Chains A and B, each alone.
Chain A
Amino acid sequence: MSIIIISSDSRNVEEEMAKRVADAKGFDIVDCRVLEDVAKDCNVDPGILEKALENTPSILKKMPQARWRYYLSCIEAEVLERLRRDNVVCWGVAAHLYVIGVSHAMKVRLISGSARRAASIAELQGTSMNIARKWVDDEEKRRKKWSLSAYGIDETSPSIYDLVINLDQIDPDEAVGTIIEAVGYRKFRPVTYSVKCLSDLAIAARVRAELLRSMKDIRVQARDGTVIVFVKGSGREKVKKSRAIKEIAGKIDGVSFVEVHVKRNITDAEGMESPDRSRYPGWPVIGKTSHDVDKAAN
């Protein structure tokens, strides 16, 4: 009863290893196929969602930042809901960046040396090693920028993973064996606390996705059905916004109480980062704002 989240610097590697681990464990797979369902909910083409998972708004001129953030929040909400079923291997939907604080979710990063990746790219695209090397470097920079903009986390940093395997040194068969052995450790068993954390994350993500349909700059915390929403706003719009948020969030399954904080800046000292963090210790937070994106991009 665990969750294995696999990510890699190569999509093919992620897919192959996720399938092998899922087969060996008899687990279900959660991957980019969820985008079909998310696309129906958002009323967009699944290709747009794929692009949102790949690119930051600055590159995608046709996708404004508010839409980009909305699409990501919809993907996040759907994936978190599916992860609640347990016994799942997840890849390709950036779950390693938003499944935070769930002790029974084991995050695995599979890396291969840039020389090997460049050689494989050169062969695949029929280009020189120099061009392939540059492509690999650019790709790494792009992923780093994307993960920082979307979730404020550098996905190329090994410290965010529970297990990092270098496929230049460890054969795929050995890597599958290592992952299966590691997920068998007691520490990755679900406990009441971790199951609740995942459930709270899923509710917070669902609330945020619903709110981002019509608003922007939203952060959400959830615990045991109580939801706290932080939103940017000032003056007269405070009451109106608060009322609208309570109405939308209150209709979502699992939400029993909604508290709204409309602030001029939801990431400064007056916002959630200091007083509310201490008021609600350990509450999972869902949502990056435009302010965070600007910070990450700089």
Chain B
Amino acid sequence: MSEKKLRIMVIDDENIVGKRLKPALEKSGYLVETFEDGETALARYDEEPFDIVVTDIRMEKVDGIEVLEKILAKSDRTKVIIITGYATVEVAREALSKGAFDFIAKPFKPDDLRTIIKRAANELRQ
């Protein structure tokens, strides 16, 4: 029997990020949904939880750190990966303290993210 496909949510207000990541991750066998704001993404998460959430930090209304906190409050099983074009030591440490699974600076290669997601998927399947 084949394993259930992991569900990934990508949140970034630059729609090009979702457009590029969706096919790249689907090719690796994941189910992917993309969102351009944290509010809509959180509402969707309430309808149906995701295994992995990839979120940008700087977004209007609900930022990535808030997304991280709200999602982990709903389910500590979900792996939240932070992506940002404004990476600093302080932001990385804040994200980790709040439970982020990993933190990566933009721009990155799809392969870099795939490696992190593979690691998250392995932990989820253990």
Q: Which of A's residues lie within 8 Å of B, judged by CB? A: 101-103, 185-189, 191-194, 196, 281-282
Contacts and interface: CB of A to CB of B under 8 A. Distances in A.
Given A196-B105, A282-B87, A282-B105, A191 B99 contact: no
Contacts of A185: 97
A74 to B, nearest CB: 26
Contacts of B87: 193, 282
A196 B104 CA distance: 9
| 10 residue pairs, one from A and one from B, having the closest CB atoms | A187-B93, A191-B103, A103-B92, A192-B104, A103-B89, A187-B97, A186-B96, A193-B103, A187-B96, A193-B105
Given A186-B97, A187-B97, A194 B92 contact: yes
Nearest to A224: B109
Given A192-B112, A193-B104, A196-B105, A186 B99 contact: yes
A192 B116 contact: yes
Contacts of A187: 92-94, 96-97
Nearest to A282: B87
13 contacts: A102-B89, A103-B103, A186-B96, A186-B99, A187-B94, A189-B96, A191-B96, A191-B102, A191-B104, A193-B87, A193-B103, A194-B89, A282-B88
A192 B89 CA distance: 12
Nearest to A194: B92
Nearest to B115: A192
Interface in B85-122: 85-89, 92-94, 96-97, 99-100, 102-105, 112, 115-116
B93 A103 contact: yes
A103 B105 contact: no
Contacts, number: 46
Q: Which range holds the interface residue count of chain B?
A: 10 to 19
Nearest to A186: B96
A193 B104 CA distance: 5
Contacts of A281: 85-86
Contacts of A186: 96-97, 99
A192 B103 contact: yes
A194 B99 CA distance: 16
B1 to A, nearest CB: 33
A194 B115 CA distance: 15
A186 B104 CA distance: 16
A94 B3 CA distance: 51
A196 B113 CA distance: 13
Given A188-B93, A192-B104, A192-B116, 8 more contacts: A103-B92, A103-B96, A186-B97, A187-B97, A191-B92, A191-B100, A191-B103, A193-B104
Contacts of A101: 88-89
A237 to B, nearest CB: 34
A256 to B, nearest CB: 13
A101 B96 CA distance: 15
Nearest to B97: A187
Contacts of B88: 101, 282
A8 B22 CA distance: 50
B92 A193 contact: yes
Contacts of B105: 193, 196, 282
A192 B115 CA distance: 10
Nearest to A196: B105
